[in-house]
Structures are given as structure tokens and as C-alpha cells.
Homo-oligomer: A and B are copies of this chain.
Amino acid sequence: MGQVQRWIYPAGLLCSVILNVVFVVLYVQVNSKWKPDWSKSAAKEAEAVAAVTCSGHGRAYSDGLVIDGSPVCECNTCFGGPDCSQFSPHCVADVESGDPLFLEPFWMQHAASSAVVIMGWHRMSYSYSDRSTISQELDKLIRKLHALVGNANTTGRFIVFGAGSTQLLNAAVHALSPHNSSEPAKVVATIPYYPAYKSQTEFFDSVHFHFEGDASMYMNSSTSNTTSTFIEFVTTPNNPDGKLSKAVLRGPNVKAIYDRAYYWPHFTPIPAPADDDLMLFTISKLTGHAGSRFGWALVKEKDVFEAMTTYMSRNTEGVSRDSQLRALKLLKVVMEGSGREIFEFSSKTMNDRWDQLNKTLSVSKHFSLQEITPQHCTFFQQVRTPSPAYAWLKCERKEDKDCPAVIRESGIIGRNGTLYGSNSSYVRLSLIKTQDDFDIMLHHLNKLVSKEK
């Protein structure tokens, strides 16, 4: 016994002391790691919401409904139930809007780098420290982004921020309209055009500008034989048909607003940096954050820049500083890895969808799609096959004059061609919504086409 004790106790003590040392090291290590202080409860709350996965067919939000302490799932179209797992096979595919949710999975995969913590006293003032309503850090980052992607020349350009490009459309029209003329500026666009040009310009009915419809009505020198000012909206690539359009009017009284919302490698090859006098961009179609309402204008002329800045001030006192903070964070993620990550994700998604849609409709004689030719892209440094944001579907049969009704009968809601200044033999199908929306649309289209046989 005595002999055994002589060994057991010292050996046990030695082991125990070593264990103590190990625990001290572990404890110090764990305890010295950074732990959140005041941000903890907000972080915990957000992570709890993010942990609600909604079966991959929906998502919960921090500002959504909470029932019995649990955030409620908001399901994709055609999915339901508490966890969005119930699929309604006969449900209608709603591909009417340009909701850019195809990028949602990208941001879920980049949760850590894209999260923003806003402290309670963040930017309470009306102005930044330089007395403007524009974050200079964001201004700088936007210029870097355009240089990286090579889609716009920002040298010598002024930047105006807006609540999406929506607010900037009218700010630009307002700024380009003459304010000393008795005749209002004629606002025009080439058919098919984005419906907001008409609806917005008509809604903000002014003594200084008036929507006049189709730009081609004023071609053939009629713009130079008049004192009227013309303001031409040019969307490029075009919404709805994806064409790399250019202004059709020329003359000393003609001004163009280049809406370049879709001029990103997601949707089009980038042949060269755009260099127009007035260009509009928006994160809605770049990062997919339509809800944040953030866009910008690149403006060459100082007086136009100043007029647009006054518009922003009179209209809303600038853009929400919270949106500007978020845009800053999101654009930093966009620029990670020289932008390859997001643009490869997005262009692959859009290209896959276009290929599947094309394959489905290639056997159809009743329906056709717009043609888009592959082109060299300076960003990817290769020829890129089409990846447009929208399908501009045409019903080819004479009896199918109401194309939206024809596809509606087969369970697909698109947007009527008449809204684009065109006619109802056309319908726009959005390809940028969720994967569920796209899959259900394709399912219904396949059924529709198979009936032709």
C-alpha cells in the first residue's frame, strides 16, 4: 500500500496540475476572443431570423411578423405552409415584375461579408461632414467599381444619388428641360420602352416637359427644324428586349438620358465603357437590392448636375443615409476578387435561364423570342452568349392577338406589350425573379408548347 501510494499520489497530482494548466490556457483563449458588447442583442436577433431557412422556398425577415416568438416565413410564389415546404403544382407563375431576386442566394452565401450593423446614432444629421447629402466614400467606391467592370467612364463626371434610378429619371428630365421657354420639352423613347418613362413623366405633369411617346416619330430632321427641346430616354441594354440600343434623335436641341440599369456583365457583354453625357445606374439590377432604393447618375455637365442635386434636395433632402451605408457594404462585396464572383454567379444564372427558355421555345411555331447575338465582353475577355433580364415573347399566330391572355390561360402572368408602347402580340417575361418563379414558368411553358403537337 505504502509503496503504491508513494507513486499514485505524485503521479495523480502531476496529471491534475497539467490538466489545470491546459484548462487555464483554454479558458484564457476562449475568454480573450472578441465578444460583442452593445451589438450582441441585435446580432443575436438577426442570426435567429437568418437561421429560419423556410425550406429554401422563402425567407424570414427581422421586420417580419413574429408568432409565439418565432419569425414567420414569407414564402415564394406557389409555396406555402409554416416552412414554405408545401408546393401548389397548379399555381400560376407570376413573372410580371422585375424583382431581382435571382441574386438572393448569392447574398445568403455571403452573409458575413455583406452584413451591416447600424448603431443607434449613425448619421442622424441632414448632411455628411462636407455638408453634402452624398457619402464621399460611396462616391469613390462607385468610381472604382465602374473602372473595374469597365462599363462606364467616370472621369470628369459628377455623381448624383437617387432613391433607385426611378427618382433620377424625373430629376434628369426636370434638369434637362428648358425653364425659360414657353414650350415644354418633348420627352420621347423608342418603342418598346420601359413603361415608367411614360407613367412617371405624365404623372409629374409640368409646364416644362411633356411625354410625347415614340422617338422615331421625330426622326428625319424634324428635330432640327424646330426650337423644341427633345429629351430621349435610351435604355441599353433595352428593357424589355435586351438590345444594346442607341439614341435615334440627333440635333442641337436633343438631349439623351441613358438608362444603364442593365449594363452589367449579368445581362450583357460589355463592349466598351459607356461615355454618355447623362447615365443612370441602380443597385436594384446590380446587387439585386431593389428594396434599398439606391441609384446614381453620372453627369458630364455641371449645370445639369447642379439642377439634379437641387431636385434631390427639394424632393427628399437626398437619399437615406442608411441606404447609402448599405450600398457601400454591398458594393465592397461586389468588388471582392475583382468582381469575378458575383458576375460569374449572375451571368451564369441568367445564361442558364435563357438557354432553358430558348430550348423550350425552339420547337414552337406559336411563340418566338427576341434574337440576341453573342458579342465580345471586355470584362470577361471572351465572347459571351446571351443572358438577358427579360424575354420579349411574341405570339406568332394571327388569332393570338392578346398574347398576355394566351399565356395567362396556361398559368403564366407576364407584362403586356402595350405598356411598352408596343402591342399585345408581345408580352414581357421576367427572368430575374427567384429560381422557383423561373422553374414554374418553364414548367407551364413546356406544357403550352407540347400542346402544339
Contact B291 A50 (CB under 8 A): no
Q: Select one of B33, B204, B317, B333 contacting A204, CB under 8 A.
A: B204
A117, B46: Cβ atoms under 8 Å?
A: yes
Q: Does A229 contact B (CB under 8 A)?
A: no
| Chain A residues near B (Cβ < 8 Å) | 5-6, 9-10, 12-13, 16-17, 19-20, 23-24, 26-27, 30-31, 33-47, 49-50, 59, 61-65, 74, 97-101, 103-104, 107-108, 110-127, 129, 135-138, 162-164, 166-167, 170, 196, 199-200, 203-208, 284, 288-294, 310-311, 314-326, 328-330, 333
Nearest residue, chain B, Cβ from A122: B61
The contact of A35 among B20, B35, B122, B326, by CB within 8 Å, is B35
In contact, B322 and A65 (Cβ under 8 angstroms): no
**A-B residue pairs in contact (CB < 8 Å), sample of 27:** A12-B13, A19-B20, A20-B23, A23-B26, A33-B35, A36-B36, A38-B47, A39-B39, A39-B43, A39-B115, A39-B117, A40-B43, A45-B117, A62-B122, A98-B126, A99-B125, A103-B124, A104-B124, A107-B119, A107-B121, A117-B118, A125-B291, A163-B163, A196-B314, A206-B207, A292-B322, A322-B322
Contact, CB under 8 Å: A117 / B120:
no
A25 to B149, CA, bound (A): 54
Chain B residue, CB-CB nearest to A333? B120
Please tell me which one of the listed residues B16, B123, B200, B203 contacts residue A61 in the complex, with CB atoms under 8 A apart: B123
Ranked nearest first, the 8 interchain pairs of A and B with the lowest CB-CB distance are: A114-B120, A9-B9, A23-B23, A46-B117, A16-B16, A107-B120, A291-B321, A163-B316
Chain B residue nearest to A37 (CB atoms) is B47
By a CB distance below 8 angstroms, the chain B residues around A35 are 33, 35
A38 engages B50 (CB within 8 Å) = yes
A116 with B118: CB separation less than 8 A: yes
What residues of chain B lie closer than 8 Å to A294, measured between beta carbons?
A: 320
What residues of B have a CB within 8 angstroms of the CB of A208 in the complex? 205
Q: Among B41, B120, B293, point to the contact of A317 (Cβ < 8 A).
A: B293
In the bound complex, residues from chain B placing their C-beta under 8 Å from that of A115 are 38-39, 41-42, 117-120
Query: Which of B63, B65, B118, B129 touches A324 (beta carbons < 8 Å)?
Result: B63
